[in-house]
Structure formats: structure tokens, C-alpha cells
Amino acid sequence: MTTLSATTREVAVRATGLALSLAGCGALLWLFVHQPTNLDELTGGVAASVGAYQINQADFEQGRQFFETDRFVEARSAFARADPASRHAVTQFYVAYSFYRQGWGRVYSDDTLFTQGLEAVNRAIALAPGRRLTVEDPGLDMKTADELKVEFEQGLTRDASDFNPLRVLRKRR
Amino acid sequence: MTMPWAQLAVREALVLPLLLIGVAAGGGFRSGVTDGAWRFLPPTPMALVLGVLLVGVLVRTGVLAPWTLVGPHRHGLANANGAMLLATLLLASSQVFTALSPESGLLQVLASVFFLLLLVNTLAAQPTRARAMQSLGVVLLSAFVLKYVILDALYAPEGSLARKVVTTLLEGVSLGALGYTSHGAATAYVAFLVVLLYLFALVLLPGDDDDRVGPVLRTGRDGRLGEPALPRAEPARPRGEPSLPGETSLPALTGARASGAPAARPDPADH
């Protein structure tokens, strides 16, 4: 009886150890792939991987209000509070859109802001299910992340169309 | 002294792999010097090569006895535990070098060559387990001091004028190939913890118990060089205690003499 329970205990210890080690290796791989840059992203990423991550809805709504009144820096600050781990696709879409609207210019666009916007929209696309993201907001001219991404890429590309004087007639989307 | 199987199983299946995974994660940790942003670096190919060499050194010096972890004499689950321990040891060994080497530039190449030569030298010297551990401790802590105390202080962004002059001279002499970037304070603390935990894990590894001579000499003493050594005798186990689960226990010895049996005469050689 004692021998049997000793064997059972050994098997249990070894099986538990193996399962925990495999989970640890998985966590290590996750760290290398996702590269969290702070504790919020680390905890948010872990929560998101088990489907438990939620944004702060009040901060998100406040961010949208700032966004609609063209107060983009304040909007991004509110969005950062709402989604501290940068794991919510729609919030990241709005962050990217705020970079677009702030960096857009009739003659030229701000490359620094557009680069940050491109990073944000790429993040939003990566987080969206099936990499397809559509935001039904009547205040937005571009409702998909793909359109927004193209705008950023065109803004960052240097070509002959940059010298077209008719560019001054285009509108911010 | 023989360790109970339960402690051995816990150490082999739980403690060591988790400790080594922690070392592997911490070895890649970097924090930015200005914004404190984290990064987790995976092992570079050179770090993997150094890790394999280090595991080779551990085996040759008796710090690690891999045949006690994996082999046909063990059942499947125990073999899986042993293989996992070896895999995490390899990863942790690589990440220790990642932690202690600069990330880019000429200094990274120099550090890799330095580690490579030291490991090859240790392999050639065939030290005992204790001396190998001492040597490894000195090498790892020296590399830590060089990177996180000296280089980080030299390349700190808020350095004094004299420091900046020295750095500029170094960069000038090397034609700007050094390319060192300093780290946030958290990186050094994590790296120090990683080195200590790694050395602690090495102490816990199942190794060769005979620490008086190196493995080659041991092979020569137990058998002959080039021939397989005889298997070592199992450590004495108290009679009456089953050696393995399922094994019948031996009858316990008592002090009473069997009736009619003559008492053994004391051997003069015992005195």
C-alpha cells in the first residue's frame, strides 16, 4: 500500500513538473515574441491570452470625445489609460487615426506622427480577429484599418506625386 | 548520504527546470536607459554555441551527469523530465551569455571570443567539479563587472566630461566599431540575480559524486583509459528499506545471534 502510494506520488510530482516546465517554456516563447515593454503590457498580455483583458470604457469614451474635437494628444492619453497593454484593436485603431489627423497636412504630412500611426494601425490589425478591422463610426471617413494603413504608407512614401500642386485641394479624411 | 527519491524527483522535475526557465527569461531582459522600456532578447546563434560548449564543460567536469537524467534504465515520464531539464539547462546557459555579452558591435565579438577561449581552456584542463564551479563563478562574475559596472558607467548618458573623453577616445581608436549602448539600472540587478541563480542551479544539478579527481583520471582509475569503467557500486542502503517502489524489502538485521551459530572472531586487521 505504501509502495503504491509512493509510486503514485512520484508520477504526480513528475507529471506536474513536466506540465509546469512546458507552460514555463511557452511563457518564455511568448515573452520573446510579444516583447512587452512594461509591467502593464506584460499583465495585460497575459490576461488577453486567456481572454480576460478588458479596457476601461469610461477612459475610452473620454478619448473619443477628445478625438472628435481634434484634441489628439489628450485623446491618446485617454486611450493609453483605457488600454494600457495596447491589446484592444479598436482602441489602437483610434490611436492610429489620431496620429493620422494630427500629422496630416495640406502640403506635407508629419513623418514622425505618421510612423507612429503606422505602428499603431499595424498593432490594431494584428490584434483584430482574422486581421480584419472595421469600425462603424459616422465621424470617421476611413472605417477600416486597411484604408488607414494605406494612407499612412502613402504619406510616408516620397514620389513624383508629392510635387503635384493639386495636392493642396485634397481633404483630410 | 542518499537523498530520498521524493526530494530528487521534486528537484529534477520541478525546482531545476523552473529555476532555469527563470534564468533564461531574466538573461534576455533589458531595460532602456532613458525610458525604462523592457526588451526580452532571445539567444543569438553564438550564445547557443557557447551554451552547448558550457553544457559540455559541465558534463566533462562532473558538474552534470546526463546519464542519470536520461537513459533506458528510466521510465518514460522520468526520461521526459530529464530531457526537459537538459533542454532548459542549455537554454539557460545560452541566456547567461546573452546577459553578460554586449548586444552589438565589436565588443560583442570580443566577448564571444573571450568566452569561447575560456570554455575551450576549461575543457582542455579537465578540472574537478569544485574547481570547475569556482572557475565558472569567477568568469561569470568578472564578465558581469566588466559589462554592468565598467562599460555601463563609461557609456552612461549623464557621464562626466572625463568619462566622455575616454569614451570618445575608445570609439576613435576602434573607428566607431565598439557600438556599446548602456542599460537601465534594472538590467544590472536582473543580470546579477540571473548569474547567482544559474550558479545555484548548477550546484543542484545531479553530478558525479567523486570530487577528488577529474573525469578522465576517474575513468583511468576505475577501469582503463579507452575502456568502459565498471559500474559504480550503489550506495549502502539501510536493510529493511525497499530500494525501489515494488521491490521486496530485505529482512532487517538484528543484534541477536542465531541459536547455535558461532560468534565471528574479531579480525586483527580491523584494529
Question: Which structural domain, as residue segments, surrounds residue A30?
Answer: 2-49
Residues 6+ apart with CB under 8 A from B197: B19, B22, B23, B26
Judge: B21–A21 Cβ closer than 8 Å, yes or no: yes
State residue A106's pLDDT score. 80
In this predicted model, what pLDDT tens digit does every residue of B77-124 receive, in sequence order? 999 999 999 999 999 999 999 999 998 888 889 999 999 999 999 988
In this predicted model, what pLDDT tens digit does every residue of B204-217 receive, in sequence order? 999 876 555 455 54
CA–CA separation, B94 and B53 (whole Å): 9
Judge: A17–B37 Cβ closer than 8 Å, yes or no: no
Nearest CA in chain A to B81: A18
B8 lies within 8 A of chain A by CB: no
A61 and A20 in a common domain:
no
Q: Which residue has the cell 557609456?
A: B155
Distance from CA of B30 to the nearest CA of A (A): 10
Residues 6+ apart with CB under 8 A from B105: B177, B178, B179, B180
A64 and A45 in a common domain:
no
- Number of domains chain A contains: 2
A153 and A96 in a common domain:
yes
pLDDT-derived band at A7, boundaries 50, 70, 90 = confident
With a cut of 50, say whether residue A109 has pLDDT above it.
yes
pTM of the model: 0.73
Nearest CA in chain A to B79: A14
Judge: A21–B38 Cβ closer than 8 Å, yes or no: no
In this predicted model, what pLDDT tens digit does every residue of B39-53 receive, in sequence order? 999 999 999 999 999
Neighbours of B251 (CB within 10 A): 8
Q: Which residue has the cell 550546484?
A: B203
Neighbours of B250 (CB within 10 A): 13
Judge: B13–A21 Cβ closer than 8 Å, yes or no: yes
Helix (H/G/I), strand (E/B), else coil: B1 = coil
In this predicted model, what pLDDT tens digit does every residue of B5-41 receive, in sequence order? 567 889 999 999 999 999 999 999 999 888 888 999 9
A63 and A146 in a common domain:
yes
Assembly ipTM: 0.71
A70 and A149 in a common domain:
yes
A72 and A144 in a common domain:
yes
**In chain B, what are the domain boundaries?**
5-217
Most A-contacting residue of B70, B74, B84, B204 (CB-CB within 10 A), to test interface = B84
As a whole number, mean pLDDT of residues B257-270 equals 47
Is the CB of residue B214 less than 8 Å from the CB of residue B62? yes
Angle, vertex CA B214, rays to CA B195 and CA B196, nearest 5: 10
CA–CA separation, B185 and A70 (whole Å): 39
